[in-house]
Amino acid sequence: MLRLAAFGSLFLVSVLSAAMAAQPAKTKPSAPIELYRYTDNNGRVVLDRLGVPPEYVSRGYEVLNEKGRVVRVVPPAPSLEERQRIAEEKAKAKSDEQLLRIYSEPGDVDRARDRKLAELDGLTSVAQSNLHSLRTQQANMQSKAAEYERAGRQVPEHLLVQIDNLKAEQAGVEKDIQRYQQGRSEAEAAFAADRARLVELRGE
């Protein structure tokens, strides 16, 4: 195995000469002689005919021919920050491509925004109507329960269960309304961002 620290060009030439001399005189090598140059954990430059140890591959290395010339350079693997930056750039490029495919002009964004907001407003309106109906039903049930109490009679169990069910339904509808309203705010922000980006991409 040839694995030596390299200290200069003269040393490299002597190493290569020794490697070539190691070949049998009457036989030709089946493949060109290649040396791999990398840096180890101690900061030393190493020449190795057998390849680069796995723990050093990510740092990058060079491949030299029998004349000591670099014939191939394997760059270091990107760092975590670089990989994240590359991923973000790819995601942005994909998003821009999709944006240009969906919208031809800023007016398209405005119309899509208006349709989405109208849809959410419609859902909110229906939910608010349902909530008003449920509150009215609860008020009627509670009025009946109060009549029993004023008469000194026990409120029927089924009436109490209905009141509790109405309260639970109202809580669910109120959550729906909050979700629709939050969705509206998020939609407005998203469409505004899409419109601004589209204008930027189109150079307007």
6-61, pLDDT tens digit by residue? 545 444 545 545 554 555 545 555 567 889 999 999 889 998 888 899 999 989 99
169-191, pLDDT tens digit by residue? 999 999 999 999 999 999 999 99
Contact (CB, 8 A) for 36 and 61 = yes
The residue extents of the domains of the chain are 3-74, 82-202
Q: Which helix (H) or strand (E) holds 22?
A: none
Q: Residue-wise over 74-109: b if at least 16 C-beta within 10 A, else e? A: eeeeeeeeeeeeeeeeeeeeeeeeebeeebeeeeeb
Task: Report pLDDT for 158.
Answer: 94
Residue 18 C-alpha from the chain's centroid: 52
Task: Report pLDDT for 1.
Answer: 46
Distance CA 183, CA 24 (A): 78
128-155, pLDDT tens digit by residue? 999 999 999 999 999 999 999 999 999 9
60-103, pLDDT tens digit by residue? 999 999 888 999 999 998 888 988 999 999 999 999 999 999 99
The pair phi, psi for residue 5, each rounded to 5°, is -75, 135
Task: Report pLDDT for 10.
Answer: 45
Average pLDDT, the chain: 87
**Confidence category of residue 195, pLDDT binned at 50, 70, 90:** very high
Task: Report pLDDT for 66.
Answer: 84
More confident residue, 165 or 58: 165
Residue 123: pLDDT over 50: yes
Task: Report pLDDT for 5.
Answer: 54
More confident residue, 203 or 114: 114
